[in-house]
Amino acid sequence: MIEDGFSYLALLTMISSIVVYSEREYKWKLFEYLPAIVIIYFVVMLLSTMGLWSKTPDITATYKTIKSDILPAMIFLLLLQADLREIAKIGKKMLFAFFLASVSIAFGFIGMFAILHSYFEPDAWRAFSALSGSWMGGTANMVAIQGALGIADTDMGYALLIDSIDYAIWVMILLALVPLAKRFDHWSGADGTALREVGERLTLSQTKDSISFQSIFLLLGTALSVSAMSRYLATDLPTNSFITQTTWVVIVATISGIIAAMTPLSQKAGSNELGNISLYIIVALIASRADFYELTQAPLYIVAGFIIIAIHILLMVISARIFKLDLFTLGVASLANIGGVASAPILAGAYSKALIPVGVLMAMMGYIVGTFGGLAVGKVLEMISAL
């Protein structure tokens, strides 16, 4: 049994690296259904259930310190890719569709929780708040909200379970609908002729430096400095029962990342790699405090996820008819929220390779709105839970 903090951290990092390496190198069928981050969570949770390490004071201190210090650095690094000037190039119609998808997802969470909240534990609103951050942004946003709201690691298992199962089925449905695009567009009255022109007009930034020692070192030093600055500034900001000091840490780091994305620092290659390494380690840390015995309500949570998606679909289809939106715009806007960078470009590419940049940029938008949107949804869910 592992009892010291360094061995505990080394093991979690090694497990994460092996899973990610296997996903990229071996292309196993398993990874088509479960992304590496979900596999990391459940492998680590299995080892935790088996008692491979104990919650000694040293391990607990390592867990708290590493998780709290890496979190704001991760947020900053991942947001360096989200340049608002590039995102603006995708056009008003697609930005409108993205925010429409975000709002419909928010209503999905609120509607579902209003119906089912009495069947969940009193603090279940916290797990759904984190999930809403993921479904309006990405896993990084979910982890950010977990830290901001102080959500128990045991509750994150439910959020990740919904995020993998319900999301995977939704991706398959959207890909299966691609051949029906013309019929849907005819029904909604959409004019999709401008889509290819938008895709061809968009060019992803190719001016980034190649990854180098100095760029990696600069990004790491800056990210850690932002983390320290966020924690320092948060101590002087006002708090209440919902907005805690940790919430301010997340907000300050998010704003810092948005601003830095419009500076030359964003052109330094390596932010995505460093950010994802941080994300995988944080997810492994969260999983290390959970076990399978606590996932007793899993079926109910999975059903709740499908109810959220059903409300999202209904609102999006109604909006398509009202605003004459095409199926491509609706689908990519939905996946840019629920799936993020991992799946929105894939769906865009299923329509046309020229449209892949649209999917990427819309997904980048999710990094910006996911944390704030999830916190807003969380506040409403907390109010419903108190009824």
pLDDT digits (tens, 9 = 90+) for 100-152: 999 999 999 999 999 999 999 888 899 899 999 989 988 888 888 988 888 87
Q: Output the average pLDDT for the chain.
A: 85
Q: What is the pLDDT of residue 128?
A: 94
How many whole angstroms separate alpha carbon 157 and alpha carbon 113?
18
Q: What is the pLDDT of residues 315-336, one digit of tens each?
A: 999 999 999 888 888 998 998 8
Q: What is the pLDDT of residue 320?
A: 92
How many whole angstroms separate alpha carbon 172 and alpha carbon 174?
6
Q: Residue 115 half-sphere exposure, CB side, CA atoms within 13 Å?
A: 14
Asked if 261 and 79 count as a contact pair (C-beta separation under 8 A), the reply is yes
β-partners of residue 2 are 53
Q: What is the SS3 string spanning the chain?
A: CECCHHHHHHHHHHHHHHHHHHHHHHCCCHHHHCCHHHHHHHHHHHHHHCCCECCCHHHHHHHHHHHHHHHHHHHHHHHCCCCHHHHHHHCHHHHHHHHHHHHHHHHHHHHHHHHHHHHCCCCHHHHHHHHHHHHCCCHHHHHHHHHHHCCCHHHHHHHHHHHHHHHHHHHHHHHHCHHHHHHHHHHHCCCCCHHHHHHHHCCCCCCCCCCCHHHHHHHHHHHHHHHHHHHHHHCCCCCCCCCCHHHHHHHHHHHHHHHHCCCHHHHCCCHHHHHHHHHHHHHHHHHCCCCHHHCCCHHHHHHHHHHHHHHHHHHHHHHHHHHCCCHHHHHHHHHHHHCHHHCHHHHHHHHCHHHHHHHHHHHHHHHHHHHHHHHHHHHHHHHHHCC
Q: Which of 225, 230, 223 is nearest to 272 (CA)?
A: 223
Q: What is the pLDDT of residue 81?
A: 77
Q: What is the pLDDT of residue 343?
A: 73
State CA 18 to chain mean position distance. Answer: 22
Name the range with the highest mean pLDDT among 184-193, 238-247, 355-364.
184-193
Q: What is the pLDDT of residue 295?
A: 64
Location of structure tokens 């940049």: 357
How many whole angstroms separate alpha carbon 7 and alpha carbon 19?
18
Residue 206 pLDDT more than 50? no
Query: Residue 260 has which token pair?
Result: 């830095």
Location of structure tokens 């299966």: 176
Q: Residue 368 half-sphere exposure, CB side, CA atoms within 13 Å?
A: 19
Asked if 127 and 387 count as a contact pair (C-beta separation under 8 A), the reply is no
Q: What is the pLDDT of residue 54?
A: 85
Give the largest CA-CA distance in the chain.
63
How many whole angstroms separate alpha carbon 381 and alpha carbon 41?
25
How many whole angstroms separate alpha carbon 303 and alpha carbon 27?
30
Q: What is the pLDDT of residue 296?
A: 66
Q: What is the pLDDT of residue 203?
A: 47
Average pLDDT of the residues in 21-47: 81
Asked if 371 and 141 count as a contact pair (C-beta separation under 8 A), the reply is yes
Handedness of CA 118, 108, 309, 276 (dihedral sign): negative
Query: Residue 143 has which token pair?
Result: 């982890």
Find the angle CA(112)-CA(104)-CA(341) to the nearest 5 degrees.
110
Q: What is the pLDDT of residue 294?
A: 62
- The alpha carbon torsion through 269, 270, 276, 278 (nearest 10 deg) reads -140
Average pLDDT of the residues in 184-207: 64
